[in-house]
Structure 1
Amino acid sequence: MAHAQLLISYGQAFVAPDRRLHRSSMSVRLPDAQLLKVKGGCAVISDSISRNTLAKQAGDLSVRGFLADYYSTPDHWDTKTSATRVLRALNGWCYSQSKHVKEGSFVSSLSAMVFREREAHLFHMGDTLVFRLRGAEFEQLTRDHVTDIGGYRYPSRALGMDGSVDIDYTHLPLKQGDFFVFTTQGVRGTLMPSDYVRLIRQNASDLDAACECLASEAKQRAQDRGYGGDQFCFQLLRIDELPEESEDHPGLIYGDLPIPPELTPGERFDGLEVLSVLSRNAQSRVYRVRDVHSEREMVMKAPSPELSLRNAYLEHFLLQQWVVERVNSPFVVKVMQSSRPRRYLYYLMQHVEGETLRQWAERHPQASLVQRLDIANQLGKAVQALHHRDIIHQQITPDNVLIDPHGKLVLADFSACHMREVDGHRHSGELLRQIGFNEHTAPEYALGDSVGRRSDQYSLASTVYWLLTGALPYTLTPNRLRSHTDLEELSYRSARTTNPEISAELDDALRRALDPQRALRFRRLSEFLHALRVPLGRVPSREEPRQESRRFWQGVAGILLLLLVLSWLLR
């Protein structure tokens, strides 16, 4: 009788005088039966260069980050899509973080193999090594991406080395009894293929012992040849059993789920009771629901029942939950986990008791400039949190922002969000065009130009301008542009003409953030947010010590001057 479960054994061994200083990291994750069937098991190894002061952190972060994010990807994504998107997102994060450290970097070589059903999927960048032992045949599965500089070999391609990354992908069938060896570049010049075959076969009943033998022999060979042998690691996996062949595609569980029907208050659905309908439009339905078991109130978002299964928005809908789950900010709505398996296509978010920013502004026409700027700053932090995860919101408007009774802001709609690298090279404006432009949309969307973080900066500034003045910055709204010559008709209307309380400095900041030419806006969103904080008296903390230091030395100079004058008078 054929086995319905993939079974894998593994062992590991490190050689290091101090494990805390080891620059390599490795891990294996074999989840429970259901997740193993949908996502498979993972083995990962990473290695950073010896001269990197953050080598240990870089290696650990890349391994933990991949495993955490891979198993959080939507279940309808295939293995290649899930792993590639996770690695691109992780690469972008590592690359951006390296800019903020003075010494070292979050750069590491990485090899990850996903074992799913009867196949293995290998993702590789850098110079880590993966071998397969099948029978007596020992084969290297990875290519070395290295460059020789001054006698040292450096990875020419690695995670976090550049803003974009090329990932080697290999897909191969599995056979029962296959062994896979994961190790690092340091083992080069020590063990021969025959050594691997001999030591693995001699210790096939104990894979940890096999790894220890490999590490011990590699260390001895290195010492015999006169170079350091204190940085070796080995990870060994064996395919014990394979599931029977099947034509099913368990990875498409949620992709195959039907779109929910039209729901009305009082109906029960997947253990949820519909309390009210919050929104209906051509793309989606949004309901306030209550979990009948936990009594927890949440918001459920589902595609519109009229959508075709080939609709581009439906494809993007499946991405939204995973994208938003990556953001951890008090100003961004949180995705909630369902208490039971889903039978239809939807996702759940926290319920925020409050009103939209537009409703708030209508109810508080006498709100002070300080109150409005405080809300503007909260919205800026929400957008900044998205940008830190390389997410472009694309639809910042007063109707997508919620204010609770305590004045706390939450950004709550992600229908058009776009993740750089994750969505490949597809023009991200196509989705927004399908959903529809609005009066706060940046001009480049209507003109079909490239978009990015500064496009969000425009929408944020337009929403802030509206919040402070109740008007729009241009007579002709950018979403109605037809050609680049129409940009000349966009003449900025000073915010001070409508609200005299606005300072000239703040008005200039709004003018720059709202420039029709994307390249002329603030280079960083933080520069615009600084301009919003200054009217509130929130000078960045790093300037305060400078002012205190200046006052101290002015006082010292005054005392010395007084003593000098007194010495002259007493002569």
Structure 2
Amino acid sequence: MASAQLSLSYGQAFVAPDRRRHRSSMSVLTPEVLQLSTKGACALISDSTSRNALAKQAGDISVRGFLADYFSTPDHWDVKTSVNRVLRSLNGWCFGQSRQVSDGSYVSSLSVMIYRGREAHLFHMGDTLVFRLRGAEFEQLSRDHVTDLGGYRYPSRALGMDASIDIDYARLPLKQGDIFLFTTQAVQGTLMPSDYVGLIRQDASDLDAACERLAQTARERAQERGYGGDQFCFQLVRIDELPEEEEDRPGKVYGDLPIPPELSVGERLDGLEVLSVLSRTAQSRVYRVRDVRSGREMVMKAPSPELSTRNAYLEHFLLQQWVVERVHSPFVVKVMEPSRPRRFLYYLMTYVEGETLTAWARRHPQASLAQRLDIAIQMGKALQALHHRDLLHQQVHPDNILIDKHGQVVLADFSACHMRDVDGHRRSRNLVRQVGLTEHSAPEYALDDEVGRRSDQYSLASTVYWLFTGELPYSLPTKDLLRHTDLEQMTYRSARTLNPEVSPALDDTLRRALAPQRALRFRRLSEFLHALRGPSGEARELSEAVESSREPTRFWQGVAGILLLLLVLSWLLR
């Protein structure tokens, strides 16, 4: 007999003259059986303020964004870790977008409930409302975070309101028959607890009808009391069935798989044949493999067989695939899905037919500054793609950058990649130290200071400086710094003394991005890239120089085409 699975029902109702302008959004998602056991089902509601010109967009984005990201988190993460990471990332995105618009904001209250196994996990920000009806007991589970300003009540501690966010969390045991109500602050002052219980219990088997009764009654009460009753929404979720006790355990997917053994050329693992060994380090193994079924070539990355199961890097390895899956850019390598179930712990990436930036520079010592600047801009775009997803790369250096046969840059290693400000700066720094500091690492990593996007900016600028000159910007390697007073010994070596093609403006741009003090660098990576291109169109002129160098090839290709056409015409006219 099949074991019971978590099962729930839900109903919804909106009251709005124009649904397209409604400032609230809500949803319930129950995934397939495998994800249901690992990630659970999700119900959530968001609400923005009536005075927000972007209220509808803010509510919709918070709901859709959360659902998309939460069910993409690694299966070995527990619910609290997954939700916190997703909410902090979503908060950073909403806060950043709000700063770029002058009319309205992406601020919204949000309540999320995850139903997994025999427990519910509630995450709450702002002033949305969550209640639980158990028997005749009706209890509010969320706290109202509001601020009174000029007679108006505004949500506080809401999503997107600040760069950091404080999330309420509660873990609740479930009972079969529990009913959870999600609604917004608009309902305050219209219904009493006894009203909720009575209206829901009239016919609890039809949750949509129960929501309609709540909405209609709330609207009537609001009109009787002389205030707006056109922005109500209600969502009810009922627990119909719970899994057995022994099934209430974390899903065993990638986190419980064994580390692959050491592999050699010709050996096979999960239908993947090893073609070559690309890298062996203390932390990982990287192989070029071919799927024997499809013939597709890929790159397999696996933890080092010597790693302990309690090693901090092993925990981070499980995040890397999720990190890469979140980033969509032609300058960042893509994750591939295996054609068979995995029996070992690894992930697959597209195989880039090319070479590292180190090898490229060695093979092209006479490459023009225009070509090198083009590569630098592409590296910046790859890093921007990560930063837009609130990710720090932390290991930008020439051996982590690939250039394919078409000259396109691809960022291909994420050994130290980490979510910004999620687990604190110390964890990011410790991860980089375990993977290993490089000569392009920012000084703050060696000095145990705070790190951030400007730390990535330094590594990028150091790599660009090396690309232009073949040298490092400082005689004292940053990874050898021991004390903050050592920063005084870091004297920038002008790139112009090593490569006269570098203009004074370009040299000043690198000097600023390579400032030993993090606060003195460009505030944003986009500012650095803009300055790198040159305010006077220097980059455009260099790009045109690259194009003009291709003109002879295009000319002879055109001549060959015309001759071929004449030959065909002469043959036809015989």
What is the SS of the residue equivalent to 2:426?
A: coil
What is the match of residue 256 of structure 1? 256
Q: Where does residue 39 of structure 1 map in the other structure?
A: 39
CA 1:417–1:45: 2 relative to 1, 3 Å: same
Query: Residue 297 of structure 1: CA displacement?
Result: 1.8
Deviations 1:99-130 (A, max 9, x none): 11111000000000000011100000111111
AA paired with 2:217? Answer: E
Alignment-derived partner of residue 500 in structure 1: 500
Residues 23 and 49 of structure 2 are in contact (CA less than 8 Å); yes or no, is this contact kept in structure 1?
yes
* CA deviation profile, 1:222-253 (whole Å, cap 9, x unmatched): 11111111111111111111111016623343
Q: 1:511 to 1:258 in 2, by over 3 A?
A: same
In the alignment, structure 1 residue 313 sits paired with structure 2 residue 313 = yes
**Is 2:330 the partner of 1:330?**
yes
C-alpha separation between the residues in 1 aligned to 2:309 and 2:437? 23
Q: CA–CA distance in 2 between the matches of 1:520 and 1:223?
A: 58
Cα distance between partner residues in 2 of 1:536 and 1:415 = 36
Bigger drift between 158-167 and 445-454 goes to: 445-454
Q: How far off its partner does 1:458 sit?
A: 1.0
Q: Deviations 1:395-434 (Å, cap 9, x if unpaired)?
A: 1000000001111001111101121132245341111111
Other structure's SS at 2:255 match: coil
CA distance in 2, matches of 1:275, 1:427: 35
Q: Distance in 2 between matches of 1:293 and 1:234?
A: 51
- TM-score norm. by structure 2 comes to 0.92
Distance 2:195 2:271 in 1: 58
SS in 2 for 1:463: helix
Aligned-partner SS, 2:204: coil
Quick one: which amino acid aligns to residue 537 of structure 1? E
- Give, as a single letter, the amino acid of the residue that structure 2 aligns with 1:93: W
Q: The residue matched to 2:522 in structure 1 has which SS?
A: coil
| Greater alpha carbon shift after TM alignment, 106-115 vs 297-306 | 297-306
Shift of 1:3: 4.5
Q: Does 1:171 align with 2:168?
A: no
Q: What is the aligned partner in structure 2 of residue 415 from structure 1?
A: 415
Q: 1:80 to 1:391 in 2, by over 3 A?
A: same
1:142 is paired with a residue of what secondary structure?
A: coil
Q: Give the 3 Å change call, closer, same or farther, for CA 504–538 of structure 1 in structure 2.
A: closer
Query: Matches of 2:423 and 2:337 in 1, distance apart?
Result: 24
Contact 1:461 / 1:514 at 8 angstroms: preserved in 2? yes
Match for 2:538: what amino acid? G
3-state SS of 1:181 partner:
strand
1:549 equivalent in structure 2 = none
1:470 matched to 2:470? The reply is yes
After TM superposition, the structure 1 stretch with the greater mean CA deviation from structure 2, 413-422 or 52-61, is 413-422
Could you tell which deviates more after superposition, 325-334 or 224-233?
A: 325-334
Shift of 1:2: 8.7
Q: Which residue of 1 aligns with 2:571?
A: none
Partner of 2:570: none
Alpha-carbon distance in structure 2 between the residues aligned to 1:529 and 1:145: 40
Further displaced range: 290-299 or 16-25: 290-299
Query: Is the 1:133–1:197 Cα contact (8 Å) retained in structure 2?
Result: yes
Residue 10 (structure 2) pairs with residue 10 (structure 1): yes
Post-superposition CA distance 1:353-380 (Å, at most 9, x none): 1100011111111111100000000001
1: CA distance, partners of 2:343 / 2:404: 32
CA distance in 2, matches of 1:422, 1:252: 24
Bigger CA drift: 268-277 or 406-415?
Answer: 268-277
Where in structure 2 are the equivalents of 1:123-522 lying within 5 Å?
123-246=123-246, 249-424=249-424, 426-522=426-522
Name the CA distance, whole Å, in 2 between partners of 1:323 and 1:474: 32
Which string of whole-angstrom CA distances, capped at 9 and with x for unpartnered residues, describes residues 179-205 of structure 1? 011111101111111111112111212
Q: SS where residue 120 of structure 2 aligns?
A: strand
Q: Residues of 2 paired with 1:196 and 1:273: CA distance?
A: 62
Aligned counterpart, 1:563:
none
Cα pair 1:3 1:242 within 8 Å, conserved = no
Q: Distance in 1 between matches of 2:120 and 2:45?
A: 16
Aligned partner of 2:538 in structure 1 is 537
| Mean CA deviation greater in 257-266 or 229-238 | 257-266
Q: Is the 8 A contact 1:332 1:412 kept in 2?
A: yes
Q: Which residue of 1 aligns with 2:558?
A: none
- Cα distance between partner residues in 2 of 1:340 and 1:159: 40
Structure 1 unmatched runs, 5+: 541-571
Q: Kindly provide the amino acid, as one letter, of the partner of residue 140 in structure 2.
A: Q
> Is 1:492–1:511's contact at 8 Å kept on the other side of the alignment?
yes
Helix, strand or coil for the counterpart of 2:246?
coil
Moved segments of 4+, more than 3 Å: 424-427, 535-540
Q: 1:538 Cα shift? A: 4.7
Superposed counterparts of 1:19-168, under 5 Å: 19-168=19-168
Give me the identity figure in percent: 78
Alignment check: 8 A CA contact 1:330 1:410 kept: yes
> How many Å apart are 1:517 and its aligned residue?
1.6
Change (3 A) 1:271 1:2: closer
Give the counterpart letter for 1:516 in structure 2: P
User: What is the count of residue pairs matched by the alignment?
Assistant: 540
Which runs of 5 or more structure 2 residues have no equivalent in the other structure?
Answer: 542-574
The aligned residue for residue 568 of structure 1 is none
State the alpha-carbon separation in 1 of the partners of residues 2 and 139 from structure 2: 28
Deviations 1:313-335 (A, max 9, x none): 11111111212222221111112
SS at match of 1:428: helix
State the distance in 1 between where 2:537 and 2:270 align: 47
**Equivalent residues of 2:126, 2:156 under 8 A apart:** yes
Matches of 1:154 and 1:425 in 2, distance apart?
A: 32
Structure 1 counterpart of 2:291, one-letter code: D
Distance 1:372 1:536 in 2: 16
Separation (CA, whole Å) in 1 of partners of 2:191 and 2:523: 52
Q: What's the C-alpha RMSD, in Å, of the aligned pairs? A: 1.6
Question: Structure 1 residue 293: deviation in Å?
Answer: 2.9
The change in CA–CA distance for 1:54 and 1:414 in structure 2 (over 3 A counts) is same
TM (normalized to structure 1)? Answer: 0.92
Q: Report if the CA contact (8 A) 1:427-1:450 is conserved.
A: no
Equivalents in 1 of 2:248, 2:255: separation in Å? 13
Alpha-carbon distance in 1 for matches of 2:296, 2:140? 53
Aligned letter for 1:364? H
- SS of equivalent to 1:255: helix
Name the amino acid aligned to 2:196: Y
8 Å Cα contact 1:126-1:144 kept in structure 2:
yes
1:241/1:247 CA distance change after superposition, 3 Å:
closer
Aligned residue for 1:557?
none
